[in-house]
Every structure is written in C-alpha cells, then in structure tokens.
Structure 1
C-alpha cells in the first residue's frame, strides 16, 4: 500500500491540506484512505447510544453498521497506542493512504509550514520530509517548495514521488 504523510506543527494547515488532497487525488480516479493521529482523547460515539453502552459495558471492539457506512471502534483499555504499521494493516487496500500526523514515523511526508506559527521546520531534522508546502519563504532547506494552497501541485508531487503518475 502506498503511504504518504502530511506533517507540521499546530495551525500549519495540515487538515485543510489533507482535505484538499483527498478531493484532488480521488477526483483523479484513485482510491484514497486517511489516517489521522490525535494527541488527545476523542470519541465518535455518544453517551447513551447502544454502541456506547456496549463499550461502557467492557466490549473491546464495537462495530456499528448502517446502510451508508460502518465503523469499528477499538478500546485500548490500558494497552499502548498501536504503531502506525498496525493501524495501516486494518485498512482495506486502496491506491493511497494519506496520513496526517505521525511525524516521527519513517514514511515519506510533505510538511505544511507557516512562518506565522513561529514553529521550526520539521524538514531541517527529518530526512523523510520530501517537500515543504508553504506560502512563505523557506530558507536553508534543499527540498522542493510547493505552494500550500495549490493542492493539485502537491498531489502531482506526491503521486510522482510514489510512481503513481
């Protein structure tokens, strides 16, 4: 499975870029899935609903299915967070998996960067960052600089880097 990441610090534009990349790449006829790393607790379930009650009762996994979608929720119940490779193995085969976050993992990445955040460039320290997507000048990095707001150009770069063009 082809995997490519979008990394960057808070407020760099990662989620907006991911959204645009999914639309751009799937619009070209490729199948795309995503993985999003969260640094905080989250819930896709609602207290009192049947599936929530199953989890609250102690179920390790709860699968909910309806005519439009299905979702599998897995409770770690004290186990460590699984590595990205384990999560990727749970996905159905697609042409490309875009990963938001997981900046310390070793897959190829594009870094979303905005000078206004004051955050340093990850690309300076991480050889897996293959390009920087920014609308600001970037000094001292010998990588392609792509316009942050040009999803088509960034998609071209990713697909070319993966040999999918």
Structure 2
C-alpha cells in the first residue's frame, strides 16, 4: 500500500496539457530512482483490446476480473457490474508499493494538487474553486490575482522537483 502523503494530483481543464506534463515528468523521476504510479480518471467506457480478443470475451461473458499477463507486463481489468465507481483511496490501495502516485483528475479528492493552466486557450482556471491546489503550472510568466506559486509549464523537470519536494521525496 502506498502512503497517501505520497499522492499528488494534476488537474486542469480538458486540453490544458495534463497528460503531456505527466508524461514529460516521468523520465525525471525515473532518473532519480523514484518509482511512480499514475492514476487517470476517465469519464468514458474503457476499452483496451478489440472485442474479439480473449480478455474482452471473458469480460463480456461476465468475469468480474480478468488479468492478462506476459513476461513484460500485466493488466487487471475489473468490471463494476453495477457497483459504485471506486474511490481514489480504493484505487491507491490496489497499487503495488511505489514512492509517488500522480493522479490526473479526481478534483474533489483531499490531496495536494497542481493545476495546469494555459490562458491562451481562453479557459478560466480552476484553482480558485478547488482547495488543495498548491501551485499552477502555466505557459505565461504572470497570472493576475493568482496567490499561488507559478511553475513554468515548459520546464517539466522543475515541476517534477516541486512535486518531489512537496511530498517529502527530496
């Protein structure tokens, strides 16, 4: 089980660059032997294999869980079958031991988070409406009325270091 003190969220409006930022930060963590898990929330039906593949057929036939394993990786598919969506805590509890869990989405979870905000997209920031936002990663040098630290979105290694310091890894 991973310590909840090592869970850090990345939020922002759709298209702001959350996934791109997480992807760009991962090599920085890897270089420092910081093992990272990522949890991404989606509002869509998940599909990992075409319907005719074995694991999809098992799920369609009613299996609650299906694990597909190879010498290189494995994936666990869990069908909810009418159950409520699991909480972030429940998902974190399912992870193996890691140093840090980065969470994309789950805006209402009680975790520290960073907002990715690009004013050029003309979309209002969310930091004002979400408690727990501790910094804003942006592609501008100044945001009026933002009381939080601004991090340069074009320097993901600095953002990764900020996150590592925030959760006590540096």
TM-score of the superposition, structure 1-length normalised? 0.96
Size of the aligned set, in residue pairs, is: 165
Match of 2:167 among 149, 156, 162: 162
- Taking the aligned partners of 1:56 and 1:155, their CA distance within structure 2 comes to 40
**What do residues 93-150 of structure 1 show as CA deviations (whole Å, max 9, x unaligned)?**
1000111111121111110001123222211122200000001231111111000111
Structure 2 residue 120 is matched with structure 1 residue 116: yes
Indicate the residue corresponding to 1:9 in structure 2: 13
Q: Tell me the CA shift for residue 26 of structure 1.
A: 1.7
Instruction: List alignment gaps of at least 5 residues for structure 2.
Output: none
- Taking the aligned partners of 1:21 and 1:103, their CA distance within structure 2 comes to 20
Match of 1:75 among 79, 86, 89: 79
Q: Tell me the CA shift for residue 45 of structure 1.
A: 2.2
Indicate the residue corresponding to 2:152 in structure 1: 147
Indicate the residue corresponding to 1:104 in structure 2: 108
Counterpart secondary structure, 1:53: helix
- Taking the aligned partners of 1:51 and 1:149, their CA distance within structure 2 comes to 39
Match of 2:31 among 23, 27, 32: 27
- Taking the aligned partners of 1:92 and 1:54, their CA distance within structure 2 comes to 25
**What do residues 22-79 of structure 1 show as CA deviations (whole Å, max 9, x unaligned)?**
1211221111110010111121122111111111110000011111111110001121
Instruction: List alignment gaps of at least 5 residues for structure 1.
Output: none
Q: Tell me the CA shift for residue 86 of structure 1.
A: 0.4
**What do residues 6-27 of structure 1 show as CA deviations (whole Å, max 9, x unaligned)?**
1000111100001011121122
